[in-house]
Amino acid sequence: VTKEPIPVIVYGLGAIGIGAVKLALQKSYIKIVGAVDVDPSKQGKDLGDVIGGDRLGVTVQPNIQAALAVAPAKVVLHTTTSFMELVEPQLVELINAGLHVVSSTEELSYPHLQSPAIAERLDRLAIDKGVSVLGIGVNPGFLMDLLPLTLTGVCQSVESVEVVRVVDTAKRRVQLQKKTGANLSEAEFRGLMDTGRMGHIGLVESVALIADGLGWPLERIDDEVEPVLAKELTTSEFFQVEAGRVVGLNQVATGWSNGKPRIVLRLHMSLRAENPCDRIRIEGTPPIYLEQPDGVAGDHATVAILINSVHRIVEAKNGLLSPHDLPIPVCRS
Amino acid sequence: VTKEPIPVIVYGLGAIGIGAVKLALQKSYIKIVGAVDVDPSKQGKDLGDVIGGDRLGVTVQPNIQAALAVAPAKVVLHTTTSFMELVEPQLVELINAGLHVVSSTEELSYPHLQSPAIAERLDRLAIDKGVSVLGIGVNPGFLMDLLPLTLTGVCQSVESVEVVRVVDTAKRRVQLQKKTGANLSEAEFRGLMDTGRMGHIGLVESVALIADGLGWPLERIDDEVEPVLAKELTTSEFFQVEAGRVVGLNQVATGWSNGKPRIVLRLHMSLRAENPCDRIRIEGTPPIYLEQPDGVAGDHATVAILINSVHRIVEAKNGLLSPHDLPIPVCRS
């Protein structure tokens, strides 16, 4: 069966959005028909120029109405910010336009936790308009939540889930090195922590997503962040960090059920972290232990899972969905 | 939201069917309302007596009509034989009765490969009757197909998929030791091979399932089986195998695409196999490498994934489904 490609608009042309466009161009089942960005310096340009490639005949528009006036679409790839409060008006506009949404917004991977009222409004609106909305990514959205949930599929019962992810940020984008505190003093790091601006966004969402998938009511979720300090001079392409200053962070999110820490997610991200890896341990019948010795590189993977969700969202039920509500986003060519 | 438990009939009370009943009794969202078996010595007995537990008030019936006459049901757990030709009339009867089916039949995990005509008939009938039919298990159905497919979700592109599974059959049921040739002579093993009665059922289905998920047309699938011979006296609880006789088998199924072996599944099952494990290697962007150092125990896991599929099948689209057509069968209590 030869199907028409799915017409897609990319909304947000930061690093992830640009990566998504580049990958979408290689997929026969996707056709990029529009692009939207708030940055006036990108508006009016050909999308090919913005991503640094050949002309595509798609002009970057200032808003979704302008994009839809040029070409109708079915799905929006939404890559703007991490936070529900900021994306709600954007999502409302996209849903009202009758578009399915695949979004990289971290908090949207499980918005019922921190923004239950917004989540309910979006869910009702999406059902009303006959569209599906999904927040997904590699973390949150896969490595520390959807993958362990998938593994429970072969368990008769589950007692606890523990995931450890160790990332060497020196091998990643400068933004991640900055976000994890590279070259801050410990005092600066703790100052940012106190204002809630330090720590990976989405780890508590991953805990809540696992609990939701397993049907576990949680009493509470703890989220602890600590700086990792350089033991010696530590360098990356972008930073030279003296001993005693910050090279990254250790974060642990814990979901408590029946008085026990039953979901424990440990994320270590630092410059030159030793033995980068992903490990999943499920205590249950049978027990499951799995490791990915080199870990999964985040940036390529995040772009991939967004694109791989496009063929799933058009066949999904309507409403605000969680990653485990859909069939797995397999890689199609 | 308190939902009514899903009423389920168990069809086939062999080892897997009995395991499924025991596990279903622990699940709040399932209610076993009926049981069917062809064995006259089980018919008329209380299901609790058959599984070796407390009375359940469910009498084992000789056929589905008799079971439905006692209590209506929504889902059938079907655990009879491995082969499409034998199960087609059973499935037709269940579909005609308006029941969703979750089946352990190995060939049903991807019936389009070896029985395309039967698969098409069942698909059309299931759509016509408004029900969903799924073949699933741990292998085929998860470890060597659905799990690697899931991992491609974070890949931008996939070049090849290789899965290695090593099973120490001495730690498993006597049936598996027999099925893999324990204590046969090499000549006896090769004789059974020549008549197609030696080798794991479902490995070529796993290759076809991965190819289907990725959207790869395959030129052909090779399936090679070789005996593994004891190097020294090798014993299990059930066998004493002299050096030179068979302790198990090595099987490799290979899917060829564009002239290349792009899907390679290697299954080693033998008494006292060293380093039991599951390993998945995906060449692509990014590459993925994952291992489960002790492997996943098959018997508990097969029963688990059948039960964990019950809450998925009632919400799935109609027709004959493959494991990657549904959301992941997470373990619910």
Percentage of chain B surpassing pLDDT 90?
91
Query: What DSSP designation does A154 have?
Result: G
Pairwise CB contact (< 8 Å): B331 & A284: yes
Which site among A23, A288, A328, A332 would you substitute to test the B interface, given the most B Cβ atoms closer than 10 Å to its Cβ? A328
Pairwise CB contact (< 8 Å): A290 & B292: yes
Which site among B149, B288, B330, B332 would you substitute to test the A interface, given the most A Cβ atoms closer than 10 Å to its Cβ? B330
Pairwise CB contact (< 8 Å): B330 & A308: no
Q: Which chain A residue has its CA at the smallest distance from B310's CA?
A: A153
Rounded to the nearest angstrom, the gap between the alpha carbon of residue A151 and the centroid of all alpha carbons in its chain is 20
Q: Which chain B residue has its CA at the smallest distance from A28's CA?
A: B215
CB B7 within 8 A of CB B31: yes
Pairwise CB contact (< 8 Å): B154 & A301: yes
Q: Tell me the pLDDT of chain A (333 aa) as tens digits.
A: 457 999 999 999 999 999 999 999 999 999 999 999 999 999 999 999 999 999 999 999 999 999 999 999 999 999 999 999 999 999 999 999 999 999 999 999 999 999 999 999 999 999 999 999 999 999 999 999 999 999 999 999 999 999 999 999 999 889 889 999 999 999 999 999 998 888 899 999 999 999 999 999 999 999 999 999 999 999 999 999 999 999 999 999 999 999 999 999 999 999 999 999 999 999 999 999 999 988 887 778 999 999 999 999 999 999 999 999 999 999 998
Residue B196 pLDDT greater than 90, yes or no: no
| Residue linked to tokens 């168990």 | B10
Which site among A143, A147, A154 would you substitute to test the B interface, given the most B Cβ atoms closer than 10 Å to its Cβ? A154
pLDDT value at residue B173? 86
CB A204 within 8 A of CB A256: no
| Backbone dihedral region for residue B103 (phi beyond 0: left; psi -120 to 50: alpha; all else: beta) | beta
Which site among B30, B152, B172, B328 would you substitute to test the A interface, given the most A Cβ atoms closer than 10 Å to its Cβ? B328
CB A85 within 8 A of CB A79: no
The first and second tokens of residue A147, run together, are 């993958």
Of A198-202, A309-313, B112-116, B224-228, least confident by mean pLDDT is A198-202
Q: Kindly indicate the confidence band of residue B320, based on its pLDDT and cuts at 50, 70 and 90.
A: very high
A-chain residues near B146 (CB < 8 A): 153, 328
Closest CA to A248 of A301, A313, A171: A171
User: How many Å apart are CA A151 and CA B328, to the nearest integer?
Assistant: 9
Element at A125 (helix H, strand E): helix A116-129
pLDDT value at residue A1? 47
pLDDT value at residue B160? 98
3-state secondary structure of B225: strand
The first and second tokens of residue A176, run together, are 């991640």
pTM for the complete prediction? 0.96
Pairwise CB contact (< 8 Å): B156 & A329: no
CA of A26, closest CA in chain B: separation in Å? 9
Closest CA to A10 of A2, A1, A23: A23
pLDDT value at residue A197? 83
User: How many Å apart are CA B140 and CA A332, to the nearest integer?
Assistant: 21
Burial class (CB in 10 A: 0-12, 13-18, 19+), B64: buried
User: How many Å apart are CA B193 and CA B170, to the nearest integer?
Assistant: 22
Which site among A109, A156, A258, A314 would you substitute to test the B interface, given the most B Cβ atoms closer than 10 Å to its Cβ? A156
Element at A307 (helix H, strand E): helix A298-308
A-chain residues near B324 (CB < 8 A): 327-328, 330
CB A28 within 8 A of CB A4: no
Across the interface, of B138, B294, B328, the residue whose CB is closest to A328 is B328
| Residue linked to tokens 């008085």 | A259
Residue B1 pLDDT greater than 50, yes or no: no
Q: Which chain B residue has its CA at the smallest distance from A20's CA?
A: B156
pLDDT value at residue B2? 55
CB hemisphere CA count around B284 (13 angstroms): 29
CB B57 within 8 A of CB B25: no
Mean pLDDT of B33-51: 98
- Complex ipTM, two decimals? 0.95
Q: Which chain A residue has its CA at the smallest distance from B210's CA?
A: A330
pLDDT value at residue A2? 55
> Which residues have C-beta within 8 Å of that of residue A312, sequence separation ≥ 6?
A326, A327, A329
User: How many Å apart are CA B153 and CA B147, to the nearest integer?
Assistant: 10
User: How many Å apart are CA A145 and CA A139, to the nearest integer?
Assistant: 8
User: How many Å apart are CA B262 and CA B132, to the nearest integer?
Assistant: 31
Pairwise CB contact (< 8 Å): A305 & B152: no
Mean pLDDT of B29-36: 98
> Which residues have C-beta within 8 Å of that of residue A24, sequence separation ≥ 6?
A8, A10, A30, A32, A77, A307, A310
% helix, strand, coil for chain B, step of 5 = 35, 30, 40
Burial class (CB in 10 A: 0-12, 13-18, 19+), A45: middle
User: How many Å apart are CA B77 and CA A322, to the nearest integer?
Assistant: 27
Q: At what angle do helices B116-129 and B84-96 cross, to 10 degrees?
A: 10
CA of A316, closest CA in chain B: separation in Å? 10
Pairwise CB contact (< 8 Å): A333 & B215: yes
A-chain residues near B159 (CB < 8 A): none
With vertex at residue A278, the alpha carbon angle to CA A276 and CA A280, rounded to the nearest 5 degrees, is 150
Beta bridge partners of A290: A280
Pairwise CB contact (< 8 Å): A308 & B333: no
CA of B30, closest CA in chain A: separation in Å? 14
Pairwise CB contact (< 8 Å): A146 & B294: no
CB B8 within 8 A of CB B306: no
Element at B301 (helix H, strand E): helix B298-308
User: How many Å apart are CA B78 and CA A313, to the nearest integer?
Assistant: 31
Pairwise CB contact (< 8 Å): A142 & B153: yes
CA of A277, closest CA in chain B: separation in Å? 10
Residue type, A93: E
Across the interface, of B138, B142, B332, the residue whose CB is closest to A214 is B332
CA distance readout (Å), A199 to A165, A227, A228, A302: 14, 9, 12, 18
Beta bridge partners of A158: A284
Closest CA to A203 of A274, A264, A159: A264
Rounded to the nearest angstrom, the gap between the alpha carbon of residue B117 and the centroid of all alpha carbons in its chain is 21
Hey, which bits of B169-245 come out as E strands? 220-229, 234-235, 240-241
Pairwise CB contact (< 8 Å): B147 & A142: no
CA of A249, closest CA in chain B: separation in Å? 24
| A–B interface: beta-carbon pairs under 8 A | 151
Pairwise CB contact (< 8 Å): A153 & B305: yes
Pairwise CB contact (< 8 Å): A305 & B215: no
Q: Which chain B residue has its CA at the smallest distance from A329's CA?
A: B153
Pairwise CB contact (< 8 Å): A23 & B156: yes
User: How many Å apart are CA A28 and CA A144, to the nearest integer?
Assistant: 30
Burial class (CB in 10 A: 0-12, 13-18, 19+), B46: middle
pLDDT digits (tens, 9 = 90+) for B160-193: 999 999 999 999 889 889 999 999 999 999 999 9
Across the interface, of B151, B154, B304, the residue whose CB is closest to A154 is B304
Q: Which chain B residue has its CA at the smallest distance from A212's CA?
A: B332
CA of B27, closest CA in chain A: separation in Å? 9
Pairwise CB contact (< 8 Å): A155 & B301: yes
CA of A151, closest CA in chain B: separation in Å? 8
Q: Which chain B residue has its CA at the smallest distance from A285's CA?
A: B300
Q: Which chain B residue has its CA at the smallest distance from A300's CA?
A: B286
Pairwise CB contact (< 8 Å): B331 & A297: no
CB B319 within 8 A of CB A322: no
Q: How would you label A186-204 residue by residue, b for 16+ Cβ within 10 Å and e otherwise? A: eeebbebbeeeebbbbbbb
Across the interface, of B153, B284, B330, the residue whose CB is closest to A324 is B330
